[in-house]
Amino acid sequence: MHLYPQITRVAKYLPSNIVTNDDLSNIMDTSDEWITSRTGIKERRISQQESTADLATQVGLKLIEGIEIETIDFIIVATMTGDYGTPSTACLVQSNLGADQAFSLDVNAACSGFVFALSTAEKFLSSGKYQRGLVIGAETMSTMLNWEDRSTAVLFGDGAAGVLLENTSKEPRFIDELLRSDGTRGMALFAKKNLNNNPFKSADKETSEGMKMDGKKIFDFALRDVSKNIIELLEKNPDFSKELDYCLAHQANSRILEAISKKTKIANQKFLSNVHFYGNTSAASVPLLLVDEIEKGTLVLGSHQKVIMTGYGAGLTWGSILLKL
């Protein structure tokens, strides 16, 4: 019997350090009212010691509990805040887990990272050459921020979450997808992390560190391109669209989610949200939302609930997957 990939386990891990809007108002010119009214964010987790690989490893340990480690075929980590240029975060996780039979790679598609990584993993499993793999979204966004720039520093948080994907379903669970990128608009949101001390290279014009974002361009991109992506994919799959249960969209801020809901004409209550607690965790955002809603009982693995997972962010990158849980 031919078996198809499905999500069989989920797990999350968050730094214990909670930073509220009031905490931020003590170190920069901002306020709880200003942040909440514009973003819906009330607090976020900020790592004090743990690296991106540390967060991802804790998720991996939960996902493999009780499983023979040599049966894990691959580990994919979606991140834009890897601890090193090389080795990849996934290789560090592989070492920490002792998964020496698994091949490992990172996917850097920023806030679309988990959706892109999940799509990649599904293709590996659908090839029939692999049977079981981990897909983890993990970020320490705090390491990439300019903490003197209140326009970006208040938005982001750290965290990790992921899934165990296995060829165990008797029917297709991954129904369709539509992934997109547009590098011509990439500088609307960028973060330069490399050390530019090459003596043979002229100095960069842009020397400031940390993340830089054109908020209006990003909002317009989300409203126009991301909404179009969702509409196109659902129109192509009308039966799925009629029975759509929930939207698991990247948690950038509550205003964007509301705007996408209006543009797509999908009821706002179908757009699940936890941005209030975590802020924007980039590639960890969608899997954190998935895990939270499973823990609450809103979503149930094996229930055949129909969901659309949507990521969008720097690159620019965006994309959606239609999935039966």
Catalytic residue numbers read 111, 250, 280
The span from the CA of 56 to the CA of 174, in Å, is: 24
Q: What are the backbone dihedrals phi and psi of residue 271, each rounded to the nearest 5 degrees, phi first?
A: -85, 95
Dihedral sign, CA of 242, 245, 249, 255?
A: positive
Q: How many other CB atoms sit within 10 Å of the CB of residue 258?
A: 14
CA dihedral 256, 113, 230, 180 (to 10 degrees): 110
Q: How many other CB atoms sit within 10 Å of the CB of residue 245?
A: 16
78 beta partners: 107, 137
- CA–CA distance from 309 to each of 43, 184, 245 (Å)? 24, 24, 11
Query: Six-digit token pair at 243?
Result: 């029975």
DSSP summary character for residue 70? G
Query: Six-digit token pair at 13?
Result: 């891990």
**% helix, strand, coil for the chain, step of 5:** 40, 25, 35
132 beta partners: 166
Q: What are the backbone dihedrals phi and psi of residue 220, each rounded to the nearest 5 degrees, phi first?
A: -65, -40
Separate counts of helices (H) and strands (E) for the chain: 12, 13
Element (DSSP H or E) covering residue 53? helix 52-63
Query: Six-digit token pair at 107?
Result: 């996917």
